[in-house]
């Protein structure tokens, strides 16, 4: 078993299900202690922790609302107090609200920005006091930051595109501190939020060069690369893993 993260401490936001759960499993499999946050999926979070522990890994679940900066800061402080530091942050928590502009409410606009943009920034601010040389921050963005061919997705695309500017700016600030920060941009991924075996899921394949959904484990592998020693010279980047959706 690869132990590239032996002794490392990681936080994965929105880590109870889907892509987040796959990332949590991969980092724990590779030796990290993983604190995964969740808002509502308590049963799924505890089941995942039990699964990781049964496989010989180390994990804990923390209830934390990604739209609440105070909750994010409290979660980071708890992890740092218990484990001495934070080495890896994966900002995975996100929401996707779709509606035509005439029907898209300002409340939903604010919710999208609060989780997908402000939540990422709050997560970075929360971990930095506990992160030193070799720290890694990875944000789960979306290929829709570059291409949004579906109607009703303008605000979601905007929220993910905002992470490009955020990461490029923060890379300059954090580089001298020995910390890298990057975005991962998945395409359609087969999860309970976006299952492949539906009419809509199948329709997405028309946009892809590789005619299938991605697997959560494939996204987790990209995150593991960026969080690991081989990516020490990679920062400020937007790494597509989208089957050619944006090609």
Instruction: List residues with catalytic annotation.
Output: 156
Q: Are 157 and 149 within 8 A, CB to CB? A: no
Neighbours of 151 (CB within 10 A): 10
- HEC states along 130-176? HCCCCCEEEEECCHHHCCCCCCCCHHHHHHHHHHHHHHHHHHHHHHH
Q: What are phi and psi of 132, to 5 degrees?
A: -115, -160
Q: Are 136 and 178 within 8 A, CB to CB? A: no
Task: Please enumerate in sequence order all residues whose Cβ is within 8 A of that of 52, keeping only pairs 6 or more positions apart, or say none.
Answer: 24, 25, 28, 34, 58, 59
88: number of CA atoms within 13 Å, CB side? 34
Closest CA to 212 of 229, 190, 227: 190
Residue 55 tokens, joined: 């496989």
* Rounded distance between C-alpha atoms, residue 88 and residue 125, angstroms: 13
């Amino acid at each position: 078993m690869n132990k590239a993260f032996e002794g490392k401490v990681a936080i994965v936001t929105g880590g109870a299900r889907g892509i987040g759960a796959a990332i949590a499993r991969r980092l724990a499999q590779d030796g990290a202690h993983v604190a995964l946050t969740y808002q509502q999926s308590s049963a799924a979070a505890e089941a995942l922790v039990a699964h990781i522990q049964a496989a010989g890994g180390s994990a804990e679940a923390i209830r934390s609302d990604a739209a609440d900066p105070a909750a994010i800061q409290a979660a980071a402080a708890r992890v740092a107090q218990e484990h001495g530091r934070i080495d890896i942050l994966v900002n995975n928590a996100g929401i996707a609200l779709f509606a035509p502009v005439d029907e898209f409410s300002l409340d939903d606009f604010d919710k999208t920005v609060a989780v997908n943009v402000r939540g990422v920034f709050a997560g970075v601010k929360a971990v930095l006091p506990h992160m030193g040389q070799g720290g890694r921050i990875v944000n789960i963005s979306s290929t829709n930051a570059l291409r949004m061919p579906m109607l009703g997705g303008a605000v979601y695309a905007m929220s993910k595109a905002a992470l490009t500017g955020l990461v490029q700016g923060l890379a300059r600030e954090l580089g001298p501190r020995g910390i890298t920060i990057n975005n991962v941009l998945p395409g359609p991924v087969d999860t309970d939020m976006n299952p492949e075996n539906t009419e809509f899921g199948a329709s997405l394949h028309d946009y892809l060069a590789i005619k299938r959904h991605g697997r959560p484990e494939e996204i987790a592998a990209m995150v593991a690369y960026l969080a690991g020693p081989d990516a020490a010279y990679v920062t400020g980047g937007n790494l597509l893993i989208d089957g050619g959706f944006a090609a």
